[in-house]
Amino acid sequence: MNIYDIAEKSGVSIATVSRVLNGSDKVSEKTKEKVMKVIAEEDYTPNIFARGLSGESTRAVGVLVPDISDNYMARAVALIERRLHDKDYNMLLSCSGFRAEEKEEHIRMLLEERIDAMILIGSTYAGSDTKSHNTGYIEKAAQKKPLFLINGDVDAENIFCTFSNDYAVSLDLTKKLIENGRNRILFLTDSESYSAKKKKAGYEQALEEAGIAPNPSLMCHIRNNIEETVSYLEENHPDFDACFATDDAMAVGVLKYAMKHGVSVPKDLSIIGYNNSELALATTPELTSVDNKLEKICDDTVIRLFSVLSGNGFVPRRTSVACTVVQRGTTNH
């Protein structure tokens, strides 16, 4: 069933059918109705390849996410998908894992596909200032399609970034912990991502301002997983009176460890998580966490995406969104 069949059955040419399909105004009402009727009867849908081949927009966006089973990223994908669907766009989702080579491969594969633009979630993509990050492949990809980074920051042509003020939030939270008398603050992170680095920098700055010497045994790089966090603590038994984790799963691990060993939270131990996921509500006491306004970040990204695609007007390349702290039972203030 193709456009020729429809044309024949409605007694018009394929050009007319095409016009009807694309809502051109150069078709008489009578003809339009006639053709629409046949289309409906035959349950005909145009071949997307043929459409794409003749130069139209693909109406699809590629989304790359390191791990969709991570609640934070899943929420981001859900938000993005809704916005794209609203605009009749499809989403090609690829789950790359965290390694740069994997990402590069997934990006390549997505770019081979029918996409108008690409969204990269997760801040493993970092700015030119952060020397340790190899962003070359991202900049290369951006030469083919506009690229949108969520929680990333690469300052280059055709790359659009949205991220949150993690440094300021982390600095502020750590300071507050110190003001409340904590001075052995465990910092837990699971990645070398851009946002993780910003959080760490804020933490370190707060320590420095308070004159507390950074303690390497309190700055741990572990996997973002409840059980592995517990095992890590069981093995190393660090001496701490507060914990600041870059994701809620690790913070929950700390809480479980504390409860198991009879440490009173928040009296003798303060715990702060990040990303304000469902996990933060599962525990008793509930977890204090940072809400980094994922919905706003995603909306912002998709809005700018469509601005870029429609080509109208200037679109800012870098946008920052402010987090808020959600005070719950694992901290006092």
Partner DNA sequence: CATCATCATGTAAGCGCTTACAAGTCGTTT
Partner DNA sequence: AAACGACTTGTAAGCGCTTACATGATGATG
Instruction: Give the pair of three-digit tokens for residue 218.
Output: 């309190």
- CA dist., res. 32 & res. 37, Å (int): 9
Long-range contacts from 208-211, C-beta under 8 angstroms, 24+ separation: 209/175, 210/175, 210/178, 210/183
**What is the C-alpha to C-alpha distance for residues 280 and 295, in angstroms, rounded to an integer?**
18
Cβ atoms within 10 Å of 54's Cβ, excluding its own: 8
Residue 249 sits in the site that holds a copy of itself (CB under 8 A):
yes
Residue 99 touches which member of a copy of itself, DNA, none, C-beta under 5-8 Å by kind: none
Residue 82 binds a copy of itself (CB under 8 A): yes
Question: Does residue 48 bind a copy of itself (CB under 8 A)?
Answer: yes
132 binds, among DNA, a copy of itself, none (CB under 5 to 8 A by kind): none
Are the C-beta atoms of residues 285 and 266 closer than 8 Å to each other?
Answer: yes
Q: Give the one entry of DNA, a copy of itself, none that residue 81 binds, where binding means its C-beta sits below a cut-off of 5 to 8 angstroms depending on kind.
A: a copy of itself
Closer Cβ to DNA, 15 or 282, answer by number: 15
Cβ-based nearer residue to DNA, 12 or 272: 12
Find where tokens 């005909």 sit.
44
- Binding string, residues 145-184; x marks residues near a copy of itself by CB under 8 A: ----------------------------------------
Tokens encoding 142: 């951006």
CB-nearer residue toward DNA: 4 or 234: 4
CB 170 within 8 A of CB 97: no
Closer residue to DNA, CB minimum distance, 26 or 267 = 26
Q: In one letter, which amino acid is 232?
A: Y
Stretch that binds a copy of itself, among 39-47, 122-130, 176-184, 205-213 (CB under 8 A): 39-47
Residue nearer to a copy of itself on the CB measure, 51 or 175 = 51
Contact residues toward DNA (CB under 7 A) are 2-4, 11-16, 18-19, 21-22, 25-28, 30-31, 46-47, 49-51, 53-56
From its phi and psi, is residue 94 left (phi > 0), alpha (psi between -120 and 50) or beta? beta
Binding residue (CB under 8 A) for a copy of itself from 5, 14, 67, 315: 67
Partner interacting with residue 14 (select from a copy of itself, DNA, none; CB below 5-8 Å by kind): DNA
Give the pair of three-digit tokens for residue 237. Answer: 């038994």
CA–CA dist 275, 188 (Å, integer) = 14
For DNA, the closer of residues 116 and 139 by Cβ is 116
